[in-house]
A and B are shown apart, each in its own frame.
Chain A
């Protein structure tokens, strides 16, 4: 800068120089992004191509049902019911834990709790399944009895209560615990990113901590909470081993949460039926996989749309 310039030659026309590092990096990131799309398209094509023959399958391959839809509907019902119960339990719990970590607990305790919650994610799902079937289920039997005796007038608890505790509610509870870490981790991250400015604005007006959280933290993190719940839902919908171990494989439509005769889920049904499936039977299972794929996609997509709509007009 400081060197004296003695009538420099006319500078070459300014043109962005192509730097080799930039070109390589840009190329590699684009390839990485492309691979995701290709993989997703590959899965979709495989599921569709292999699933179509299932539509023409006969009763022998459809467990006695006349059409594929009649076969798949109870499984889809079970999948959605289990995932719904799981989210109903996991979402408030996860938000509570995340708030405790980000805003209430002393720093050291918060770190410890956060660490333990993260560890929950590292436990293999088969372990959750064994625990659910052999520990949680039997332990919940008295609760189920009580529910069916006192709240039996509700279809949800009509009973008879399962003697072994391997019920829809047990499956939902296990799935809730499995979905908890991901929802908590994301919520915690978003809550702690709430601008200090907004928190102080609420506190300076005389808000209690809870009022501050309602005024400043929740509005700021609304879309993040929805994303977190969606990821949790993804885990709950697709979970295979835990559900397969907890629930016996019935294909029925039943709202009864405490009976041992509970609807199975798509993923668990595939895992349990696949070893014996042959010919068109395999196509039938793959077709149920396609249904799960489409449902997951649709749920995610609609959630994003809801978030995008509620964000409109909100200037950050």
Chain B
């Protein structure tokens, strides 16, 4: 069910402001692709354009094509709501719904898709998603408790469970570990490593070791200059990016000489 994503010549605008310019890349299926780059270079904006979440900001629009499983996400007949049902997203800070129990949190996406679900069916989905997110053992005895009562790392895994419960084709992660302590971070990293066998995962990270540890491919974004739009500098296999990158600015960024 995982598919690849082909982006061609994508420009992203907020009103008159051009945030990202001319991105062309191909994200392979069933692998982890990391986006790195300095703050404000448009990597999060680009990530959000892959499930049309950037459109939540009034005035946001794109030029170009994003093709996922043979379908252009920005085709005139495509409903952004449908796109988001196929592309899961995990945010920087864990955001379980505070009034819902752990159980209801996991099912939130499924409830949107289909109104009626048998209890046994719902139970299965919850268990599978929580096992998939390595959280089942920790919460199986308190599924009816509020999701907001968990620790930060557990909440983030709950959010991942919620995203994979609808069995999306692609999983987008926007700095999923930046608000977590090192132990929780390593739990999430292990999880991402396991999820790659089933999902196409795209992750934005500020932590270069993290990108080097678990991604197959890495894309380096940078600003063309102050006040100019962000652009894709280079995309290559992670091994190559971190050893012999094509572009000198990639090398400078990775070795910590700027950024």
Contact = CB atoms under 8 A, between A and B. Distances in A.
Interface string B141-164: 000001011000000000100110
A12 interface: no
A204 B171 CA distance: 11
Nearest to B89: A204
A222 to B, nearest CB: 8
A314 B97 contact: no
B112 A207 contact: yes
Interface string B91-108: 101011111100000001
B84 A220 contact: no
Interface string A132-148: 00000000000000000
B58 interface: yes
A205 B109 contact: yes
Contacts of B159: 201
Contacts of A198: 95, 97-98
A290 B165 CA distance: 58
B126 to A, nearest CB: 15
B123 interface: no
Contacts of B56: 199-200, 203
Contacts of B88: 204-205
A199 B95 CA distance: 9
Contact of B98 (A107, A203, A211, A220): A220
A208 B79 CA distance: 10
Contact of B91 (A197, A207, A208, A216): A197
Contact of B112 (A106, A197, A206, A314): A206
B53 interface: yes
Contact of B53 (A195, A200, A215, A316): A200
**From DSSP, what is the main secondary structure of chain A's interface residues?**
helix
Contact of B84 (A206, A216, A313): A206
Contacts of B82: 206
A107 B64 CA distance: 28
B2 to A, nearest CB: 18
B98 A205 contact: no
B146 A314 contact: yes
Contact of A197 (B51, B95, B149): B95
A30 to B, nearest CB: 34
A204 B100 CA distance: 17
A219 B98 contact: yes
A205 B84 contact: yes
Interface in B76-130: 81-86, 88-89, 91, 93, 95-100, 108-109, 112-113
Interface residues of B, number: 31
A169 B82 CA distance: 45
Interface residues of A, number: 24
Interface in B44-62: 51, 53, 56, 58
B162 A316 contact: no
A20 interface: no
B85 A315 contact: no
A316 to B, nearest CB: 6
Contacts of A197: 91, 93, 95
A211 B113 CA distance: 11
A205 B91 contact: no
B166 interface: yes
Nearest to B85: A206
Contacts of B96: 201
B51 A204 contact: yes
B159 to A, nearest CB: 7
B154 to A, nearest CB: 13
Contacts of A315: 98, 146, 148-149
A216 B113 CA distance: 17
Given A205-B162, A206-B112, A200 B81 contact: no
Contacts of A313: 146
29 contacts: A107-B58, A195-B95, A198-B97, A199-B56, A200-B53, A200-B91, A200-B95, A201-B95, A201-B97, A203-B56, A204-B51, A204-B84, A204-B91, A204-B163, A205-B84, A205-B85, A205-B88, A205-B109, A206-B83, A207-B81, A208-B81, A211-B112, A215-B108, A216-B97, A220-B98, A314-B98, A314-B99, A314-B146, A316-B148
Interface of A: 106-107, 195, 197-208, 211, 215-216, 219-220, 313-316
What 5 A-B pairs are tightest by C-beta distance, nearest first?
A: A206-B85, A219-B99, A204-B89, A205-B109, A197-B95
Interface of B: 51, 53, 56, 58, 81-86, 88-89, 91, 93, 95-100, 108-109, 112-113, 146, 148-149, 159, 162-163, 166
